[in-house]
Structures are given as C-alpha cells and as structure tokens.
Amino acid sequence: MGNRGKALFALLAIGTLALASCSSGTGIPALDRDAAETDKWPGDKSQLENLDMHSVRFLVTNDNADYFAAASADKQTACLFKFVQGEDSAAGGCGGAGGADAIVEVSVPGTKMMLVRAGSDISRWEDEGWTRIHENVLVF
C-alpha cells in the first residue's frame, strides 16, 4: 500500500472511531453513563436473564411507577421494565437495539409502553395518543 493509500486508510479509521465514540449503540444514553445509586434493580434478579446486570439504569418515575432500561452485554438487545411502586410484579420487554426508532413495545393489561431511541421522530406515535415521559420512553 502506498503512502496515499495509508493516509486514506488512516483518515477512514479516524472518521469511523469518531462516529463510534459519538453515538450510543443502543440509542439509550442512560445505558452509556456510569451507574448511580438510583440504578439499583428493584426486582428479582431472574428477570435479568440474558442481560448484563450492571447495565440497569433508572429512567423515570411516572404515575406511581418506575421505569428502568437494561441491555445485553453486547448491547444488541435493550429492554424496558416498569415497576409499579408498592407491587411485587413488573412489566417489561426487550428488542433489538438496531437503528429502528422503536426498540420494543410492551402491551400487557394496565400497561402500554415503548422504548425508543434518543432523537427519534415520535410524531406518528404522538398522533396516535402516545405520550413521551422520558427521551426513551413513551406511554399510552
């Protein structure tokens, strides 16, 4: 490889690294920050099967419920969990953390929620009646 080819390769590598360092693989910025005291998992550890236990992050409290995100170790899967305060059960679901705006929609009796990538255009869901309660969480 000539000097020109080496220089082009170096520029491409630097550009790729810059893009990778600026974007979250999951689209959920909370998963990229250090854990805080509020990030302690409130449920049974078995609910985190196939997920990285250290990835759990508290997102928001809304209508007497706490919402948490978690991811697989490779960050290819992201999950949303809802814990109603004072109850033992939780609702949750996981989806592929690729490039789609919606990562996972969870619909169970009493709960309809969606985990979305940060910066997503959610206008179509808002038109349907969804409400954003966090940059990554919509409820219906």
56-110 per-position pLDDT tens digit: 999 999 999 999 999 999 999 999 999 999 998 899 999 999 889 999 999 999 9
> In the prediction, which pLDDT does 1 show?
52
98-115 per-position pLDDT tens digit: 889 999 999 999 999 999
Q: Among residues of the chain, what percentage have pLDDT more than 70?
A: 83
> In the prediction, which pLDDT does 21 show?
32
Cα–chain center distance at 110: 22
List Cβ neighbours of 117 (8 Å cut-off, separation of 6 or more): 26, 27, 28, 97, 99, 100, 101, 103, 136
Collapse the DSSP code of 22 into the 3-class scheme (helix H, G, I; strand E, B; otherwise coil) and give the result. Answer: helix
Q: 20 pLDDT exceeds 90?
A: no
For the chain, give every domain's residue range: 25-139
Q: 38 pLDDT exceeds 60?
A: yes
Collapse the DSSP code of 32 into the 3-class scheme (helix H, G, I; strand E, B; otherwise coil) and give the result. Answer: helix
List, in sequence order, the alpha helices (H) in 23-138.
123-128
> In the prediction, which pLDDT does 25 show?
82
Question: Whole-angstrom Cα distance, residue 123 to residue 40?
Answer: 32
Q: 124 pLDDT exceeds 80?
A: yes
